[in-house]
Structure 1
Amino acid sequence: MSPTPVPDWFAAALDALRRADTTAFVEMYADDAIHEVVLAPQGRPSELVGKTAIAEYTALLPQVAEFTAFEGFRSHVSGDVLIAEFTRTGTRVGAGEPLRLAYVWFITHDHGRVSRIRDYTMPRP
């Protein structure tokens, strides 16, 4: 696979997330979508089923982290799957600590909406 441009729908979703507009971010999901968090820490959900559950969980993110940038973005498309690799930087809300998270997402995109994300997110030094 060779690198491909970031699809407009995904660029818009990431921009919404950067602005802490979680409602706009969740618009990319189908009603019955699944967001699987493969490396979820203990006590956090490893699978969110349905757009409503994804929206409820995502709405909490601005209380935890304020993200300022996406870096090192690479994407590849294989059939109906977008593979996205990127790093988000920002700060932990309340603690003011710097935060860097490395992401690899396998995103299945059917009929204009995301039907599934396999999310491999790890803190980055």
Structure 2
Amino acid sequence: MTIPMAPAELYRHGLRLLLEKNIPAWVDLWDEDGVLEFPFAPQGWPERLEGRQAIADYMRHYPDHVDVHDFPDVKIHRTTDSETIVVEMRGVGRLVVTDSPFDMTYIAVVTVKDGRIISYRDYWNPIAVQQPGADFVGATR
């Protein structure tokens, strides 16, 4: 029997998978009924994705939009709920379509149950991707 990863360990593993552009393995970290939310999503962008399949569909083309090179400054804070962490971090790389630099600050509230992500609220800065010519995963416009 394998012991499930603790939330912080699972989150760091997920970051490594994103750097490797292994989106299917990243999606496999999710519970079948997991929920991914974007409270600051601009108009026309998804605010809530329900279920692993919806998250997989959303993330499928992520490497075609954003070439992430590193996640510097990752700070993981434990909460009074042992299954929930708060993460502060930066993602740096480049936007593929424009070949312009990508430098995004995130705060995420992540809940893990039985070694799977069940809830992920991603508080990212939509202004950074609304620059002229910028294209980002998830846009429906």
User: What displacement does 1:7 show?
Assistant: 2.5
Partner of 1:83: 86
* 1:3-49 deviation digits (Å, cap 9, x = unpaired): xxx82221111111112111111121100010001111222100000
Distance (whole Å) between structure 2 residues aligned to residue 35 and residue 28 of structure 1: 12
Partner of 2:106: 103
Distance (whole Å) between structure 2 residues aligned to residue 39 and residue 104 of structure 1: 11
Report the residue type matching 1:28 in the other structure.
Answer: L
Distance (whole Å) between structure 1 residues aligned to residue 28 and residue 11 of structure 2: 10
Describe the SS at the equivalent of 1:71. coil
Describe the SS at the equivalent of 1:45. coil
Task: Determine whether 1:12 maps to 2:49.
Answer: no
Describe the SS at the equivalent of 2:41. coil
Gaps of 5+ in 2: 1-6, 130-141
Coordinate RMSD, CA, aligned: 1.5
Partner of 1:58: 59
Task: Determine whether 1:112 maps to 2:115.
Answer: yes
Task: Determine whether 1:33 maps to 2:52.
Answer: no
Report the residue type matching 1:71 in the other structure.
Answer: P
* 1:26-84 deviation digits (Å, cap 9, x = unpaired): 12110001000111122210000000000110112111110000011101111121111
Q: Highest CA radius of gyration, 1 or 2?
A: 2
Task: Determine whether 1:93 maps to 2:96.
Answer: yes
Partner of 2:47: 46
Report the residue type matching 1:93 in the other structure.
Answer: V
Higher strand proportion (structure 1 or 2):
1
Normalised by the size of structure 2, how large is the TM-score? Answer: 0.80
Normalised by the size of structure 1, how large is the TM-score? Answer: 0.89
Distance (whole Å) between structure 2 residues aligned to residue 39 and residue 20 of structure 1: 25
